[in-house]
Amino acid sequence: MAFYPYLFFSGNCRRAFTRYAEIFGGELVLLSMSDVPEGTPVPTENLDLIMHAALKIGDDALLMASDDPTGDGGKAQGIVVNYAANDKADAERVFAALSKNGDITQPLMETFFSPSFGMCTDEFGIPWMVSAQPVA
């Protein structure tokens, strides 16, 4: 069994997931509302919105999302997406990329549970925790 975060955006899902693919790598799939089957009514102004985004990294990591056609994806509340980096250098790289143009809520620093841990909200309003795996 696995749990996968599914994020909602207010019209900027394509831009957010393109950025996440730059940061994390992996295989990016973007399906826009214009990709729905013939005969399914889609308002013209929604044709470029993302119906489903998936970023698959390796065999077991999957991040998914879509645009909210109402234009109000709402503020992410009560959840944080966690990225567990393999090492401190990767944690630093990812944290710098995610926090660029965003807000840092906990600077990246050594803690009792991780050699490098930090929290930020990215430029798309998604809250993140980044931690490096402890050295064995």
If asked whether residues 11 and 63 sit together in one domain, one would say yes
The reported pLDDT for the residue numbered 13 is: 95
**Could you tell me if 132 and 88 are in contact, meaning their C-beta atoms sit under 8 angstroms apart?**
yes
For the chain, what is the domain count?
Answer: 2
With respect to residue 1, please indicate whether it lies within any of the assigned structural domains. Answer: no
The H or E element that residue 119 is part of is strand 117-121
Average pLDDT for consecutive 10-residue bins of the chain (136 residues)? 87 96 96 85 85 91 88 76 95 98 97 96 96 83
The range of the structural domain enclosing residue 34 comes to: 6-67
Position 59 scores a pLDDT of 84
pTM: 0.90
- pLDDT at position 77 is 76
In terms of domains, do 60 and 97 share one?
no
pLDDT at 69: 76
Q: What's the pLDDT score for residue 19?
A: 98
SS3 of 15-75: the string is: HHHHHHHHHHCCEEEEEEHHHCCCCCCCCHHHCCCEEEEEEEECCCEEEEEEECCCCCCCC
